[in-house]
Every structure is written in C-alpha cells, then in structure tokens.
C-alpha cells in the first residue's frame, strides 16, 4: 500500500538536518562544469573539507544556499539537468533500501516513508487515480526563481529514480512546464499503476538491514529539530576552530544572547550542545583508529590535555556513581 504523503514537514525551517552527501553531489556536479567548490559553497558556512567530517550534518538553509549558488552558474533552467544526474546510490542508505525492495510498489512506499533522508525539498503527495499512480510535488517556501529550480531538480531526480526501478520503456509523465498539477502543487508525475507489482530489474543489498539503518538515521535526525538541529550542524562545521558561540550565533543570523535564550527555551544550553557534539564525534573518531592528538585537534581543543579532561567529564556525567 502506498501512503498518501511523506511524513516530512513543509517549511524549510522545520525540515530535518541532512547528510553532507547532498551538498557533496552538488559540488561534484559543479566541478564537472569547471566550477570550483569554493564558488558553490560561498555563503553557506561550509568548506570542501567539512563534507568529509565524520558525523557532519547540514542545515537545510545551507544546502539551499549551495543550490542558489549553482543556479547562478547554470541558470534558472538548469534544475532539470541537475536532477537527471542523481542515481539511487547517491542517496546512501535510502537508495540502497529502495534498490533492495521486492517490488516497485514496496520501493515507492519505502521512499515515501523515509523521504526526509533524501536531498529533496519538495513535499510529495502520492495517490492512485483510476489506473495511474499520481504524485503531486509541492516546492519549498523560497523565492520564486529558486523554487522553480529546486522543483525542476527534485522532479527530474524522482523520475531518474523511477527509471532505475521500472522496466526499460516505461513512461513517467510530467505535466507541462508552468501548469500547476493541483491547487497546492508545482508539478505532477504519473505512471501506470500496473507497474507497482513488478520486481525492480536489479535487487541489491539486504532489505531488512537497510530499512533498520534508515530508521536509525531518521530517529537521530528527529531527536533534535528546529534551531537546536541547525545550531548542532553549525557546531560540527566549526569544531576545528573551537566552535565559539558568537560564530555559531552569527551563522544562524542571531545575536549570542538570543541564541542562548532560545536554546534554554528548548531545554538545553550551548555548553551542553557542544559537549554532545564533541563526545559523539570523539567516539566515532577514536573507534576509527585516530590517535588522541588528532581527535583533539579535530574537535577544536587547543591541546590533547584539554580533550583528556573533557573525556573524564563526559564519563563522569554518563556514570555519576
């Protein structure tokens, strides 16, 4: 059975933080056009090296800034071509889960269930109308030119994904450009509902394992939403410099005082947030075999001794007895 819509929230400020894979794909696409990473990352608060940081999360507004920079390079009509560059494996765990599905219908249902793990900004609503699967896609609340670019990107990315699942020659139709598919939608895709029963041409990976991984990823991202999630993402990016609170506040367009007040209203503090990010990344980096000195530097400590003291504090907090 296909759910009527994904579980995602509509406004950009309410979307979950994202994997850096989405921005990495945009950077790689720009580089195929001869555009350096620094140009498409400008103003996003991201640098190329950030995208390889373990545990990095990207705020939706940052990814939109990268998309706006790319639109300035390829033009407002270039969204569709960008969308056709995506493959299911581009989406990491989500893509492998979709590819492991036993039928096209199961793949569609799973993609909608975990749509927040994709790089899309559209909100999909899928239904069965007579003998057709109908997907109405609504763009994000951003300025018109960027909205059209993002919608074109997402629509063509969805079509590209469906082409990997459907038999050769199967048609996925899109409404003509400029025509609204429904009162609230920016575009509509349709295809023959009989195709839902077919097995995808190539099944890869273990469906149960991939689904469990998607569930864990989604749970982690939903644990902190809104301002806390965006602050967390900026902390990760600024860790090598110590992630000073004034810098993170500025990245969010807030004063330090306002950030402190809003974090308190969310039941946390900047110190707590910083410790959570550092302790989580420390565990990942140490398990990966990095030495304490290198981990200390990556987490923004001036010297390994400060990192050692912090680890003692984290252990004490986790096991007060």
Q: What is the CATH number of the domain that holds 70?
A: 3.90.1520
Same domain, 198 and 247: no
Range of the domain at 119: 12-207
Q: How large is the average pLDDT for residues 131-143?
A: 90
Question: Residue 95: what pLDDT?
Answer: 93
Domain count, the chain: 2
Kindly tell me if the per-residue pLDDT of 12 is higher than 90. no
Of 182, 207, 232, the residue that ends a domain is 207
In a domain, 5, yes or no: no
In a domain, 77, yes or no: yes
Question: Residue 180: what pLDDT?
Answer: 45
pTM of the model: 0.75
Task: Give the model confidence (pLDDT) of 107-118 as tens digits.
Answer: 999 999 999 999
Task: Place 178 in a pLDDT band, splitting at 50, 70 and 90.
Answer: very low
Same domain, 102 and 151: yes
CA distance 216 to 195: 30
If residue 125 lies in a helix (H) or strand (E), which one and from where to where?
Answer: strand 123-129
Task: Place 182 in a pLDDT band, splitting at 50, 70 and 90.
Answer: low
Pairing mode, if any, of strands 123-129 and 173-174? unpaired
In a domain, 1, yes or no: no
Task: Give the model confidence (pLDDT) of 263-316 as tens digits.
Answer: 999 889 999 999 988 888 888 788 778 888 988 988 889 888 999 999 888 887
Of 177, 207, 237, the residue that ends a domain is 207
Same domain, 16 and 162: yes
Same domain, 131 and 234: no
Cα-Cα-Cα-Cα dihedral of 157, 163, 164, 168, to 10°?
A: -160
Same domain, 201 and 246: no
Task: Give the model confidence (pLDDT) of 229-249 as tens digits.
Answer: 788 878 887 888 889 999 998
Same domain, 135 and 86: yes
- Strand, helix or coil at 187? strand
Task: Place 141 in a pLDDT band, splitting at 50, 70 and 90.
Answer: confident
Task: Give the model confidence (pLDDT) of 35-74 as tens digits.
Answer: 999 999 998 878 888 787 767 788 888 899 999 999 999 9
Neighbour tally for 91: CB within 10 Å? 25
22's CB contacts (< 8 A; 6+ apart) are: 58, 63, 119
Same domain, 36 and 136: yes
Q: What is the CATH number of the domain that holds 304?
A: 1.10.10.60
Same domain, 50 and 177: yes
In a domain, 2, yes or no: no
Neighbour tally for 278: CB within 10 Å? 23
CA distance 12 to 121: 8
In a domain, 218, yes or no: no
CA distance 265 to 166: 48
In a domain, 214, yes or no: no
Of 176, 207, 238, the residue that ends a domain is 207
CA distance 89 to 95: 5
CA distance 230 to 50: 15
The alpha carbon dihedral of 41, 47, 51, 57 has a sign of negative
Same domain, 182 and 228: no
Same domain, 96 and 237: no
Same domain, 200 and 61: yes
Same domain, 230 and 197: no
Contact of 91 with 21, CB cutoff 8 Å? yes
Task: Place 7 in a pLDDT band, splitting at 50, 70 and 90.
Answer: very low
If residue 188 lies in a helix (H) or strand (E), which one and from where to where?
Answer: strand 187-192
């Amino acid at each position: 059975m296909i759910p009527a819509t994904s579980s995602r929230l509509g406004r950009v400020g309410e979307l979950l933080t994202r994997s850096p894979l989405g921005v990495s794909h945009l950077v790689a696409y720009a580089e195929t056009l001869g555009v350096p990473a620094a140009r498409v990352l400008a103003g996003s608060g991201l640098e190329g090296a950030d995208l390889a940081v373990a545990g990095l999360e990207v705020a939706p507004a940052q990814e939109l800034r990268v998309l706006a920079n790319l639109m300035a390079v390829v033009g407002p009509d270039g969204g569709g071509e960008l969308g056709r560059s995506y493959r299911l494996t581009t989406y990491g765990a989500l893509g492998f889960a979709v590819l492991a599905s036993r039928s096209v219908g199961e793949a569609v249902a799973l993609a909608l269930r975990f749509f927040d793990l994709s790089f899309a900004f559209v909100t999909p609503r899928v239904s069965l109308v007579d003998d057709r699967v109908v997907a109405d896609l609504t763009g994000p609340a951003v300025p018109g030119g960027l909205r059209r670019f993002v919608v074109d990107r997402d629509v063509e990315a969805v079509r590209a994904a469906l082409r990997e699942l459907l038999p050769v020659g199967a048609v996925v139709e899109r409404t003509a450009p400029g025509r609204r598919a429904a009162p609230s939608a920016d575009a509509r895709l349709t295809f023959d509902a009989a195709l839902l029963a077919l097995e995808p041409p190539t099944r890869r990976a273990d469906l149960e394992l991939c689904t469990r991984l998607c569930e864990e990823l989604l749970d982690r991202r939903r644990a902190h939403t809104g301002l806390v999630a965006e602050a967390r993402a900026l902390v990760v990016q600024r860790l090598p410099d110590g992630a000073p609170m004034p810098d993170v506040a500025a990245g969010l367009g807030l004063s330090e005082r306002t950030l402190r007040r809003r974090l308190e209203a969310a039941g946390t503090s900047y110190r707590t947030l910083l410790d959570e990010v550092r302790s989580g990344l420390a565990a990942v980096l140490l398990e990966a075999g990095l030495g304490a000195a290198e981990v200390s530097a990556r987490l923004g400590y001036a010297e390994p001794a400060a990192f050692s003291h912090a680890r003692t504090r984290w252990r004490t907090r986790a096991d007060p007895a």
